Structure 1
Amino acid sequence: MMGNKLLLNEKVRSEWVDYNGHMNDAAYAAVFSLAVDELMQVIGLDKKGREAHAYTIYTLETHLSYLMEAKEGEDIRVTYQLLDHDAKRMHVYFVMTGSTEEELAVSEQMLMGINTETGRPDAFPADIRSNLEEIAAHHQEAETPARAGRKIGINKK
């Protein structure tokens, strides 16, 4: 679990390609959403874990940067780095790379743990928190990505 950990291997599907001949912006978001689903599995919130704990993850905020075009049939991979976490939130940085290992897109996300019985934010169950602590210990030495924490805006001269 050192540095960026692989979550997802995919190929750009034909239904993800738009009239510009590359992956549509919404498809990038969908791929990162699939990566969140995979992360949930990694931390123990697969279907069985969600049911056992009556607990899930919601996305609170996403910053998605489109860096390069992804073409139909291209191999894409998504890795993640846990930047921070607290009792009920995760700050995660996802990187999508293509067949040349160049970054195609990045998605920085704030994810919130939710008690599905109350529909309200709640602390991570003990075993999930333990899994996050283990991941955090492996990721603590990794450098914070340069694009993390960016704000959107037009720079005035």
Structure 2
Amino acid sequence: MPNSIAAPFLSSVMAIEPAWIDYNGHLNVAYYQVLFDRAIDELYLPIGLGPDYLRETKHSTMVVESHVRYLREVHLETPLRITAQLIGFDTKRFHVYQEMLHAEEGWVSATCETMTVHVDMTAKKVASFPPAVMAALQRVKDAHAVLPVPAAVGRRIAMPAAK
């Protein structure tokens, strides 16, 4: 793992693919999740949870809960970057908050909050992280401790009470 951990993590610049544009002329909701997931794949590499980890250990991760907010539409030519902030973790799961940003102008298009579990792919059961991954998660958490918890963390969906 690098000595310097970005707070928050910042993905590479990502491009929207033409097939992802819906009949409304903007990015279809399904592909926001694709982009958020690709950013997490980038974050996984320095933590040690990438494809090699699955191949070598027969363990991986799975998202068990996700909350996406769509704040501002994006179009085919919009360059994007995604931040990721580790909010918390324990021996079997971690909580991440992400923001999708216009890569040049910096405004937020969407946010995504996920709870992810560590899974033994052979047994298909949630399993504890090995010590090396726990140590890597702690280094990320320590680096991200300087960041405030985003106001959107922990939001829920509910209908307003009738008056």
TM-score bracket for the superposition, by shorter chain length = over 0.9
1:14–1:73 Cα contact (<8 Å) kept: no
2:27–2:74 Cα contact (<8 Å) kept: yes
SS at match of 1:12: coil
Amino acid corresponding to residue 16 of structure 2 in structure 1? V
Equivalent positions of 1:37-52 (< 5 A) are: 37-52=41-56
Equivalent positions of 1:8-87 (< 5 A) are: 8-87=12-91
The 4+ residue runs of structure 1 with deviation greater than 4 A are none
| TM-score, length-scaled by structure 2 | 0.91
1:8–1:79 Cα contact (<8 Å) kept: no
The offset of 1:5, in angstroms, is 1.1
Amino acid corresponding to residue 53 of structure 2 in structure 1? G
The offset of 1:32, in angstroms, is 1.2
Choose from 119, 128, 133 the match for 2:124: 119
The offset of 1:119, in angstroms, is 1.1
RMSD between aligned alpha carbons? 1.2
1:80–1:92 Cα contact (<8 Å) kept: yes
The offset of 1:33, in angstroms, is 1.8
Question: Is 1:132 equivalent to 2:157 in the alignment?
Answer: no
**CA distance in 1 between partners of 2:72 and 2:147 (Å):** 24
Amino acid corresponding to residue 42 of structure 2 in structure 1? E
Higher strand share: 1
1:59–1:109 Cα contact (<8 Å) kept: yes
Q: Using the TM superposition, name which of 123-132 and 46-55 deviates more.
A: 46-55
Aligned length: 157
Amino acid corresponding to residue 77 of structure 1 in structure 2? R
> Which 5+ residue runs of structure 1 have no aligned equivalent?
none
The offset of 1:7, in angstroms, is 2.5
Amino acid corresponding to residue 129 of structure 2 in structure 1? F
> Which 5+ residue runs of structure 2 have no aligned equivalent?
none
Q: Percent identity?
A: 30
**CA distance in 2 between partners of 1:8 and 1:25 (Å):** 21
